[in-house]
């Protein structure tokens, strides 16, 4: 029997539990979480086999501990589990930022930091919570691991094997590379969408604007409907990389504004063309990738 202890049995942690058990019936999953209701629901849905009642015994019995909670809870949980870890337990997480965790894990975990393999599964859905969990969530999805030079090879192998068995594609990079990439392709777009909708919503005649918003606006602002707390925490956790991406973007926007102000048709078209080609090429590759399955 392989024992997984999961903090947060919602979409991310719950889907991992379901995928592991679908791949190998010898997995036994224990759940721990802030919300008792959520854990009971996960138990009823067969996502977890057991809701832990005692942190110490649950931690010391685990082969792998997955922290699949909002980013701001990961560090406190590492602190809570540290005293009860046995010498072979491997720890991983599913947080959207990695450099902040890498920087503090060593201090919080001490020697056990060598068995902590930070990770980030790139899978999400509109929904959250145990009812949204599904065994197929990670199939053909990227999972990024960001171990350091001090990380045990055995621990990396264990976390890698766990993710591979869910059908995921496992990638490795440094925490900084991870945070730069996701600042650019995920965190910054969220900030830009939040800023647009807030700016519109704060106008006295906001309704007049929203009334005429159509499908382009709907898609562009979909991510502005995301959890404010979650994105506050991600933004702060990845503050340095995000500020840098924001600088790049503000410069790009200033350049575009200049073309517009000067009525520079060729300058505008050049930007729009590069963007349009890049976006359509990317979308085409996404379609090709999904057809390969």
The answer to whether the beta carbons of residues 38 and 13 sit under 8 Å apart is no
Q: Indicate which single residue of 106, 131, 184, 244 sits in contact with a copy of itself (rule: CB under 8 A).
A: 184
Site stretch for a copy of itself (CB under 8 A), options 30-38, 50-58, 108-116, 271-279: 271-279
The answer to whether the beta carbons of residues 117 and 172 sit under 8 Å apart is no
Q: Which of residues 206-225 bind a copy of itself (CB under 8 A)?
A: 206, 208-225
CB of 38 or CB of 235, closer to a copy of itself: 235
Spell out, one character per residue from 114 to 133, where the chain touches a copy of itself: x when CB under 8 A holds, - when not.
--------xxx---------
Based on the shown chain and the rule CB under 8 A, indicate whether residue 194 belongs to the binding site for a copy of itself: yes
HSE-up of residue 109 (Cα within 13 Å, Cβ side): 28
Site stretch for a copy of itself (CB under 8 A), options 21-29, 106-114, 149-157, 259-267: 259-267
Based on the shown chain and the rule CB under 8 A, indicate whether residue 273 belongs to the binding site for a copy of itself: yes
Based on the shown chain and the rule CB under 8 A, indicate whether residue 136 belongs to the binding site for a copy of itself: no
Site stretch for a copy of itself (CB under 8 A), options 20-28, 81-89, 103-111, 238-246: 238-246
- Residue that is written with structure tokens 């969220």 in the block: 190
> Which is nearest to 82 in space by CA: 94, 67, 99?
67
Based on the shown chain and the rule CB under 8 A, indicate whether residue 70 belongs to the binding site for a copy of itself: no
Q: Indicate which single residue of 82, 132, 200, 244 sits in contact with a copy of itself (rule: CB under 8 A).
A: 200
> Which is nearest to 3 in space by CA: 43, 48, 35?
48
Which tokens go with 52?
């832990």
Q: How many residues does the chain have?
A: 293
Q: Nearest distance from residue 271's CB to a copy of itself, in Å?
A: 5
Measured torsion, CA atoms of residues 218, 186, 71, 58, in degrees rounded to the nearest 10: 90
H helix count then E strand count, the chain: 13, 9
Q: Nearest distance from residue 203's CB to a copy of itself, in Å?
A: 9
Pairing of strands 119-121, 142-145: antiparallel
Based on the shown chain and the rule CB under 8 A, indicate whether residue 103 belongs to the binding site for a copy of itself: no
CB of 86 or CB of 285, closer to a copy of itself: 285
CB of 2 or CB of 190, closer to a copy of itself: 190
Which tokens go with 254?
């200033």
Could you give the CA distance from residue 187 to residue 173 in angstroms, rounded to a whole number? 18
């Amino acid at each position: 029997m392989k024992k997984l202890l999961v903090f947060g049995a919602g979409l991310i942690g719950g889907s991992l539990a379901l995928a592991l058990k679908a791949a190998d019936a010898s997995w036994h999953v224990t759940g721990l979480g802030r919300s008792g209701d959520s854990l009971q629901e996960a138990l009823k849905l067969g996502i977890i086999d057991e809701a832990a009642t005692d942190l110490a015994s649950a931690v010391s019995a685990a082969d792998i501990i997955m922290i699949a909670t909002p980013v701001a809870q990961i560090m406190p949980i590492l602190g809570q589990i540290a005293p009860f870890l046995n010498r072979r337990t491997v720890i991983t997480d599913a947080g959207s930022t990695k450099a902040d965790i890498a920087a503090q894990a060593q201090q919080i975990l001490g020697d056990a930091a060598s068995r902590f393999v930070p990770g980030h599964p790139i899978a999400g859905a509109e929904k959250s919570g145990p009812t949204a969990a599904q065994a197929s969530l990670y199939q053909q999805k990227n999972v990024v691991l960001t171990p350091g030079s001090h990380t045990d090879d055995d621990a990396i192998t264990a976390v890698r094997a766990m993710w591979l068995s869910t059908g995921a594609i496992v990638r490795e990079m440094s925490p900084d590379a991870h945070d730069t990439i996701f600042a650019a392709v995920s965190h910054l777009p969220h900030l830009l969408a939040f800023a647009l909708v807030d700016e519109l919503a704060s106008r006295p005649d906001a309704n007049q604007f929203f009334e005429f918003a159509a499908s382009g606006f709907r898609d562009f602002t979909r991510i502005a409907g995301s959890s404010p707390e979650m994105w506050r925490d991600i933004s702060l956790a990845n503050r340095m990389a995000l500020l840098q991406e924001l600088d790049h973007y503000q410069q790009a926007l200033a350049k575009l504004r200049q073309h517009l102000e000067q009525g520079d048709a060729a300058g505008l078209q050049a930007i729009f063309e590069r963007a349009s080609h890049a976006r359509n090429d990317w979308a085409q590759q996404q379609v090709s990738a999904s057809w390969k399955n």
